[in-house]
Amino acid sequence: MGRILIRLLIYLCYRKTLTVVGFHLILFVIVNFLFYPLIRVRLMTRRGDLS
């Protein structure tokens, strides 16, 4: 009984970490998709201003 409980606990912790990691990965991808073009445009305009 105790063994099953420990296994369940480990499984739940594992799932929790997986979901957290997955969420952070998705968030990271979304942030990159949103902000990378903006940063690139900003860098391009800055280069344009310099030249």
What's the pLDDT score for residue 50?
60
Q: Which long-range contacts (CB under 8 A, 24 or more apart) does 41-44 make?
A: none
Q: Give the per-residue pLDDT at 2.
A: 85
Q: Give residue-wise pLDDT tens across range 1-51.
A: 789 999 999 999 999 999 999 999 999 999 888 888 888 888 888 777 665
**Residue 10 Cα distances to 15, 21, 23, 34, angstroms:** 9, 16, 20, 36
Q: What is the DSSP letter of 51?
A: -
**Is the whole model's pTM more than 0.85, yes or no?**
no
